[in-house]
Amino acid sequence: MADTTPRAEAVPRARLSPRKRQRISRGIQYAVFAAAVAAVGFGADWASLAEYFADLDVAKEAFPELITVALKNTVIYTLSAYVVGFVLGLVVALMRLSSVAVYRGVALVYIEVFRGLPALVVFLIFGFGLPVAFPGLEFPFEQYGTVAVALGLVAAAYMAETFRAGIQAVPNGQLEAARSLGMPQTRAMVSIIIPQALRVVIPPLTNELILLFKDSSLVFVLGVTSLTTELSKFGGDLAAEHADSTPLVLAGAAYLVITVPLGYVVRRLEAKQRKAR
Amino acid sequence: MSTVSPAAPAVEIVGLRKSFGDLLVLKGIDATVEPGEVVCVIGPSGSGKSTLLRCVNLLEQPDDGKVIVNGVELTDPDVDIDAARRRVGMVFQQFNLFPHLTVLDNLTIAQRKVLRRGKAEADAVAFENLEKVGVADKARVFPAKLSGGQQQRVAIARALSMNPQVMLFDEPTSALDPELVGDVLGVMRKLADEGMTMLVVTHEMQFAREVADKVLFMDGGVVVEEGPAAQVISDPRHERTKTFLRRVLDPTHQDPT
């Protein structure tokens, strides 16, 4: 009991401060990453990779058709289907919100069916089912028309749900204000509600465009000619011909040239909307 | 201004009943607003006063009773409700300006699309009304750039641009910062002085006392008391009116229990 000096408060001294521990943890993560990169770098057979995925001679053969035919057709298929899907999707969304029960029912069945079916099945029905059932049936613009309708029907189901969400995101007070100014329901929808809903759905609809770009590759099941071919089919055919994957790499790059900037646009639009809110 | 026979009330409400599900919100309301009159409806929240106002232009469909505006029965199932609403301006608590349109377009869109006015005429009417509410300099900007007080004054100008015969105000200052309330009340007072027929749901007792010709006190879905503004607010007869006004006018006062 002779110890009269005040005892130091027993602060447990951690051997490492949290800051040091964090630094070590981060160092380990960098080390793991570097090791993985090294493993790939030394382990891969760069010679055969270069030969089968980046063969310049094969690559030369892909041009200019890769751009002038394949990419062009992919863009045409995608945009035409997008237009069909946009218009039809808006109509289905309005039917889904209609006060007429029959329209609501039809819209719901449509959405469930075309959202549930693989796009491939829809293409097969359009490519083989319909021509067999209705021998005289022809879509305008031949192949292009068939693709626009088949892919557009699928896109419309997704877009209808997006439009519906957008319309329902517009506050009810907007409709009340429009109606209290004497606007009939239809006029209020056209002039007040839908313009605001469209702003909300631009980012998700741009995502839908990206998805359609990829789905347009399904056109191959309809059987395409050298004039109506698109990126995937074009790359695949050329790759098979040379037993070399370089054309597929080029076709893939062509998709990314379109979709990566679109993804960037979507992120910008979303950030802008977050700020406006 | 179309001519209304002097005897006909601007708004006549007879035996109005409205329920939401099982909740009976209006239990038989009778009220009239004479042309040129300003009537304020006061009462605690949940008393049904906003519902009553929204029944007057049929934003809510009454279950029973009649609403007659300028001689047209709006509760008639075959009435042209859009035509009737053109003559009834409505101002909302949350302003409800159209955010995708400029202030000017907010004022002209219904004039153009509903009244079929030409652009020059619609613009002229719009500017005249923006001038009246003191925000003419904001005609080209979007509503989001305006303060709450400015937005509400634009909303008033938008309703006025349709040349309504009656104006309905649903707690027009309740969503405003306190220092902006005065601007909006000033515009409303000016309207009243010009002879506009107004039905106003409000918590602004000062405004009701000074501007209203008549005050209705509602509680529990019925009109408890009505009379000249000064009398109802300064010298209420009913116990419920007295309790409500004591709480509103003197919030720090503690009731002896």
Burial of A49 (0-12, 13-18, 19+ CB in 10 A): exposed
Q: Please list, residue by residue across B82-119, b when 16 or more beta carbons sit within 10 angstroms of its beta carbon and e when fewer do.
A: bebbbbbbbbbbbbbbbbbbbbbbbbbbbbbbbbebee
Sheet holding B166-170, edge to edge: B88-91, B166-170, B197-201, B38-42, B214-219, B222-228
Closest partner residue to B114 (CB to CB) among A181, A195, A276 is A181
Q: What is the pTM of this model?
A: 0.81
Residue B3 lies inside a defined structural domain of this protein? no
Contact B86 A187 (CB under 8 A): no
What is the least distance, in Å, from the CA of B121 to any CA of chain A?
17
Q: Quick one: which H or E segment has residue B86? A: helix B81-86
**pLDDT for the residue numbered B50:** 93
CB contact under 8 A, A180 and B59: yes
Q: How many domains does chain A have?
A: 1
Give the tens place of pLDDT for each residue, B188-239. Answer: 999 999 999 999 999 999 999 999 999 999 999 999 999 999 899 989 999 9
Using a CB-CB distance cutoff of 8 angstroms, which residues of chain B are in contact with residue A166?
Answer: none
A90 Cα to chain B: minimum distance (Å): 19
Per CB-CB distance under 8 Å, the chain A contacts of B59 are: 176, 179-180
* Best CA proximity match to A156, nearest among A106, A225, A102: A106
Identify whether residues B110 and B205 lie together within a single domain.
no
Q: Which residues of B touch A191 (CB under 8 A)?
A: 109, 113
Print the domain residue range for A218: 61-276
- Amino acid, res. A255: Y
A16 within some domain = no
Task: Identify whether the C-beta of residue B1 lies closer than 8 Å to the C-beta of residue B52.
Answer: no
Q: In this complex, do A177 and B57 lie within 8 Å of one another by their Cβ atoms? A: no
Go through chain B and tell me how many residues it has: 257
- Give the N- to C-terminal CA distance of chain B in Å, as an integer: 54
Question: What is the extent of the structural domain holding B39?
Answer: 11-87+164-249
Structure tokens at B107: 């004022």
Query: Using the beta-carbon criterion (under 8 Å), do B97 and A182 form an inter-chain contact?
Result: no
CA–CA separation, A184 and A178 (whole Å): 8
pLDDT of residue A30: 96
Q: Does B97 touch chain A (CB under 8 A)?
A: yes
What residues of chain B lie within 8 A of the CB of A173, using their CB? 92, 94, 96
Rg (CA), chain A: 28
Which of these three, B163, B182, B202, is where a domain ends? B163
β-bridge mates for residue B88, sequence order: B166
Q: Give B-chain residues touching A174 at CB under 8 angstroms.
A: 96, 98
Distance in angstroms (rounded) separating the CA atoms of residues B57 and B74:
8
Is B94 in Cβ contact with A180 (below 8 Å)?
Answer: no
Low-confidence ranges of chain B (pLDDT < 70): 1-7, 254-257
Cross-chain Cβ contact B110/A199 below 8 Å: no
Which residues on chain A are in Cβ contact (under 8 Å) with B172? none
Please list, in sequence order, all residues whose beta carbon lies within 8 angstroms of the beta carbon of residue A217, skipping any fewer than 6 positions away.
Answer: A74, A230, A231, A232, A233
Min Cα distance B146 → chain A (Å) is 14
Of all residues in chain B, the one with the smallest CA distance to A196 is B100
Domain boundary among B163, B191, B217: B163
B144 and B36 share one domain: no
By Cβ distance, the residue of B94, B100, B162 closest to A181 is B162
Q: What is the pLDDT along chain A (277 residues), one digit of tens a residue?
A: 455 555 556 666 667 888 999 999 999 999 999 999 999 988 888 888 888 888 888 778 878 888 888 888 899 999 999 999 999 999 999 999 999 999 999 999 999 999 999 989 998 888 888 877 777 777 777 788 888 899 999 999 999 999 999 999 999 999 999 999 999 999 999 999 999 998 889 889 998 999 999 889 888 888 888 788 888 888 888 888 888 888 899 999 999 999 999 989 888 888 887 776 5
Min Cα distance B256 → chain A (Å) is 42
Q: Is-contact B213 B35, C-beta < 8 A?
A: no
The reported pLDDT for the residue numbered A14 is: 65
> Does the beta carbon of B116 lie under 8 angstroms from any beta carbon of chain A?
no
Give the residue from B138, B163, B188 where a domain finishes: B163
Is B175 part of any domain? yes
In a domain, A6, yes or no: no
Please name which of A232, A180, A96, A55 lies closest in space to residue B156, comparing C-alpha atoms: A180
Q: Locate B210 and state its tokens.
A: 């000074």
Report whether B161 contacts B107 (CB < 8 A): yes
Q: By the 8 A CB rule, do A236 and A217 touch?
A: no
Shared-domain flag, residues B229 and B187: yes
Q: Cα(first)–Cα(last) distance of chain A, in Å?
A: 69
- For residues B129 and B193, membership in a common domain is answered with no
Cross-chain residue pair A183–B100, CB shorter than 8 Å: no
Q: Are residues B158 and B168 in the same domain?
A: no
Answer whether A182 sits within 8 Å of B98, measured CB to CB: no
SS3 B226: strand
Same-domain status, B171 and B214? yes
**Helices of type H across chain A:** 18-43, 46-53, 56-62, 65, 72-96, 101-116, 119-124, 130-133, 143-169, 172-180, 185-188, 194-215, 231-242, 246-276
Closest-approach residue (CA) in chain A for B90: A180
Q: How far is A188 from chain B (nearest CA, A)?
A: 9
Cross-chain Cβ contact B110/A178 below 8 Å = yes
CATH of the domain at A151: 1.10.3720.10
Place of tokens 């693709």: A147
Q: Report the distance separating Cα B246 and Cα B47, nearest Å.
A: 17
- Count the neighbouring beta carbons within 10 Å of the beta carbon of residue A236: 17
What was the pLDDT predicted at A27?
A: 95
Contacts of A187 in chain B (CB under 8 A): 113-114
Q: What is the DSSP letter of B256?
A: P
CB contact under 8 A, A191 and B113: yes
Q: How many domains does chain B have?
A: 2
pLDDT in tens, B25-45: 999 999 999 999 999 999 998
What local confidence, expressed as pLDDT, does residue B226 receive?
Answer: 93
CA distance B50 to A204: 37
Check whether residue B150 and residue B44 sit in a common domain: no
Q: What is the pLDDT at residue B4?
A: 47
